[in-house]
Amino acid sequence: MFTAVEMAPRDPILGLNEQYAADGNPKKVNLGVGVYYDDNGKLPLLKCVQAAEEDMMKAPSARGYLPIDGIAAYDNAVKGLVFGADSEPVQSGRVATIQAIGGTGGLKVGADFLKKLTPAAKVLISDPSWENHRALFTNAGFTVESYPYYDAAKRGIDFEGMLAALKAAPAGTIVVLHACCHNPTGYDITPAQWDQVIAAVKAGGLTPFLDMAYQGFGHGIQEDGAVIGKFVEAGLTFFVSTSFSKSFSLYGERVGALSVLCESKEEAARVLSQLKIAIRTNYSNPPIHGGAVVAAVLNDPARRAVWEAELAEMRVRIKAMRQKLVDGLKAAGVKQDMGFITSQIGMFSYSGLTKDQMVRLREEFGVYGTDTGRMCVAALNSKNIDYVCESIAKVL
| Catalytic residue ranges | 130, 211, 246
Rounded-to-integer distance, Cα 78 and Cα 72, Å: 10
Interface region with ligand TYF, contact rule CB under 6 A, candidates 11-19, 50-58, 203-211, 337-345: 11-19
Pick what 378 binds: ligand TYF, ligand PLP, none; C-beta below 5 to 8 Å, kind-dependent: none
Q: Which helix (H) or strand (E) holds 309?
A: helix 301-331
349 near ligand TYF, judged by CB under 6 A? no
Residue with the CB atom nearest ligand TYF in the bound state: 34
* In the complex, minimum distance from the CB of residue 246 to ligand PLP, in angstroms, rounded to a whole number: 7
DSSP string, 212-276: ES-TTSSS-HHHHHHHHHHHHHTT--EEEEEE-TTTTT-GGG-EEEEEEE-SSHHHHHHHHHHHH
Residues in binding contact with ligand PLP, number by CB under 6 A? 12
102 near ligand PLP, judged by CB under 6 A? yes
349 near ligand PLP, judged by CB under 6 A? no
**Residue closer to ligand TYF (CB basis): 33 or 206:** 33
Taking CB under 6 A as the criterion, the residue among 16, 20, 31, 34 binding ligand PLP is 34
Beta strand 29-30 pairing with 144-148: unpaired
Taking CB under 6 A as the criterion, the residue among 20, 29, 31, 33 binding ligand TYF is 33
Pick what 99 binds: ligand TYF, ligand PLP, none; C-beta below 5 to 8 Å, kind-dependent: none
For the chain, the 3-state helix, strand and coil shares in percent, each to the nearest 5, are 45, 15, 40
Residues in binding contact with ligand TYF, number by CB under 6 A? 8
Beta strand 174-178 pairing with 123-127: parallel
Rounded-to-integer distance, Cα 328 and Cα 296, Å: 41
10 Å CB burial of residue 154 (0-12, 13-18, 19+) is exposed
10 Å CB burial of residue 77 (0-12, 13-18, 19+) is buried
Interface region with ligand PLP, contact rule CB under 6 A, candidates 52-60, 100-108, 257-265, 285-293: 100-108
183 near ligand TYF, judged by CB under 6 A? yes
Residue with the CB atom nearest ligand PLP in the bound state: 102
Taking CB under 6 A as the criterion, the residue among 30, 126, 129, 132 binding ligand TYF is 132
Do residues 293 and 309 touch, judged by C-beta distance below 8 A?
no
**Residue closer to ligand TYF (CB basis): 33 or 260:** 33
CA distances from residue 297 to 68, 120, 257, 311, 380 in whole angstroms, order as listed: 22, 41, 16, 13, 28
Q: HSE-up of 120 (CA within 13 Å, CB side)?
A: 3
**Residue closer to ligand TYF (CB basis): 183 or 344:** 183
Do residues 318 and 377 touch, judged by C-beta distance below 8 A?
yes
Residues 121-180 that bind ligand PLP (CB under 6 A): 130, 178
Q: What residue ranges bind ligand PLP (CB under 6 A)?
A: 34, 102-104, 130, 178, 183, 211, 213, 243, 245, 256
Q: What residue ranges bind ligand TYF (CB under 6 A)?
A: 11, 13-14, 33-34, 130, 132, 183
